[in-house]
Amino acid sequence: MAQEIEVFRITPLKGFHYYAVLANRKYFDEDTNTYRYFAYTDQMRFMGQFEKSYRTDLGMYVEVYMKDGVSYELHHDCNGNTCLERAYLPTIRENNVQTVPIDKNIVKN
């Protein structure tokens, strides 16, 4: 059974490995004056090693990752729910094979 965990909207650092996930729940924490994001562990996707990021002509934020010699682009969603978790190798979480919401935002180059 999938566990819900807190996830974060962080800026990735070049050379580090990350998981991506769309938060399924968020709320405004009045104590810290910030939003908190939550997602299920079985919806996280291992993206690989972060290479670079850029903005498209239309203003969409895109991150580029390298995994198994293949480049992948992560297109952030318009609602600001795209979150990352740093992956500490070699303990990579296994991904389930079913389609999850973040998959539509990942483009293989």
What span, in angstroms and rounded, lies between the C-alpha atoms of 22 and 77?
A: 8
Question: What is the average pLDDT value for the chain, to the nearest integer?
Answer: 86
Radius of gyration (Cα) for the chain, nearest Å? 14
Contacts of 20 (CB under 8 A, 6+ apart): 44, 45, 47, 74, 82, 83, 84, 102, 105, 106
Model confidence pTM above 0.85 = no
Task: Please answer whether residues 107 and 72 qualify as being in contact, where contact means their C-beta atoms are separated by less than 8 angstroms.
Answer: yes
- Of the candidates 46, 49, 53, which has an alpha carbon nearest to the alpha carbon of residue 17? 49
Task: Supply the pLDDT for residue 77.
Answer: 86
